[in-house]
Amino acid sequence: MLAELIRLHLVTKGYNVQTLSIPDRIAGTMNSNIANKNKLFHDSIPFGGVQIAVSKGLRDDLATYPCALGDYSNTINKALSESWPKIVKVLNKVNKSDADKVLGKGAKNPQELIEDVEEEAKE
């Protein structure tokens, strides 16, 4: 859910974002991965982190143009600080299959994803 939210924020700002299908052995899903050790709601909802792979071309742009780096990082920060808390408020009311159903709706922007999660939490 968090990865999709970040993706939608970046896409909305005009970045080309691809969600990669990666082999299980390098998917970062192991419990020992530090990104997967965070939990919400007093340990009742475990979830992992998000890994963002940045292409060489974008890395070069971010290094060359400080305003580009600011825009990119601010976009991710907005996803984490403004949109994610709205989802977290209702996330404990959404089970994994419901979350998968929300993601399957294919929200076109961050606000649509938030609304989809809130709607699913009411059901």
7 vs 70: CA distance, rounded Å = 17
Q: 């292409």: which residue's tokens?
A: 55
Residue 33 token pair: 């991965």
Question: Under DSSP, is residue 54 helix (H, G, I), strand (E, B) or coil?
Answer: coil
pLDDT in tens, 42-72: 555 556 678 788 999 999 999 999 899 999 9
CA–CA dist 29, 42 (Å, integer): 21
Render pLDDT for 68-84 as a digit per residue (tens, 0 to 9). Answer: 999 999 999 999 999 99
Four-residue CA torsion sign, 31, 46, 98, 118: negative
Backbone φ, ψ for residue 45 (5° rounding): -125, 100
pTM for the predicted model, two decimal places: 0.84
